[in-house]
């Protein structure tokens, strides 16, 4: 077993019907940009009734048809937003928990210590989060998963990962291993993936390999480490 194996995103997700929601953070092959990607999938009508929108630089999930929203609490949130030299991306409203924590001098891990997995019994969907910290033409990044300790949801296990930015390398964390009932949660460390220089190639590799029936939306962002300029791609299966 090669613990340093790096696979493309397509290789990581191809043929897996349901990896849930996923976060990718890493550095492009040339080292010129920081890359993030966030995607959502859904099985229920409520979960599939979503689109991504960007307002004032913040990425939001919103209902595609507001009249069909059964429960907005776990599907409508700010998914990616900036605070000073930090870029936050998560699969829930803990984006705002981290953002408010940073404003009050509380770091990424300590902010997430106030949260736990989602209360969607019996799945107890993990909360996955990531944050880039930019500085001096480079960056570091952190990732986290908060997951149930048992089938009853009686306690929360908290896992925190911290990474240097290495050329061509990224890490991928997702909520579920695969489809199931209940759905098995992600296990182990974030997976090592390759990050190409071309944002369109990266976007296509992810979107084309997500399950066609269950994929909903994808947002990819490349931040130039010299200029700070952001290049983005957004795909919604539901188009307004």
Report the C-alpha gap between 96 and 107 in whole angstroms.
13
Residue 239 within any structural domain of the chain: no
Question: How far is Cα 195 from Cα 7, in angstroms, rounded to an integer?
Answer: 9
Q: How far apart are CA 155 and CA 218, in angstroms?
A: 31
Per-residue pLDDT, 240? 59
pLDDT value at position 183? 95
- Residue 46 confidence (pLDDT) above 90: no
Percentage of the chain with pLDDT > 90?
A: 90
Question: Residue 233 domain-assigned?
Answer: no
* Residue 103 within any structural domain of the chain: yes
Instruction: State the DSSP string of 86-146.
Output: EEEEESSTHHHHHHHHHHTT--HHHHHTT--S---TTT-PPEEEEEEEEETTEEEEEEEEE
214 found inside a domain: yes
* 45 located within any domain: yes
Tell me, yes or no, whether 99 lies in a domain: yes
pLDDT tens digits, residue range 129-186? 999 999 999 999 999 999 999 999 999 999 999 999 999 999 999 999 999 999 999 9
**Is 240 a member of any domain?**
no
User: Where in the sequence is the domain holding 111, given as residue range(s)?
Assistant: 9-227
Residue 72's pLDDT is: 78
CB burial of residue 88 (10 Å; 0-12, 13-18, 19+): buried
Give how many domains the chain has, as a whole number: 1
- Looking at residue 54, which CATH number applies to its domain? 3.60.20.20
Least confident interval from 11-15, 46-50, 112-116, 192-196: 46-50
Whether residue 66 lies inside any domain: the answer is yes
Across the range 217-225, mean pLDDT stands at 98
**What is the reported pTM?**
0.96
pLDDT at 21 over 90: yes
On the CB side of 7, CA atoms within 13 Å amount to 12
């Amino acid at each position: 077993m090669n613990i340093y194996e790096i696979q493309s995103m397509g290789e990581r997700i191809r043929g897996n019907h349901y990896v849930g929601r996923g976060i990718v953070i890493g550095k492009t092959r040339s080292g010129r940009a920081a890359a993030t990607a966030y995607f959502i999938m859904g099985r229920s009508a409520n979960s599939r009734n979503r689109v991504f929108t960007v307002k004032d630089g913040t990425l939001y999930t919103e209902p595609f048809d507001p009249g069909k929203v059964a429960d907005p609490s776990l599907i409508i949130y700010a998914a990616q937003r900036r605070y000073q030299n930090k870029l936050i991306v998560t699969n829930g409203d803990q984006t705002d928990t981290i953002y408010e924590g940073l404003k009050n001098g509380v770091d990424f891990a300590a902010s997430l210590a106030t949260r736990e997995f989602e209360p969607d019994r019996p799945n107890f969907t993990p909360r996955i989060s990531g944050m880039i910290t930019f500085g001096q033409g480079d960056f570091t990044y952190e990732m986290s998963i908060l997951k149930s300790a048992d089938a009853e949801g009686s306690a929360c296990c908290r896992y925190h990962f911290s990474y240097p930015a290495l050329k061509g390398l990224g890490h991928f964390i997702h909520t579920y291993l695969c489809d199931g009932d209940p759905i098995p949660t992600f296990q182990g460390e974030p997976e090592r993936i390759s990050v190409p220089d071309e944002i369109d190639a990266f976007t296509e590799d992810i979107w084309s390999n997500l399950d066609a029936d269950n994929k909903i939306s994808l947002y990819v962002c490349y931040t130039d480490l010299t200029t700070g300029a952001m290049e983005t791609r957004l795909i919604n299966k539901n188009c307004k």
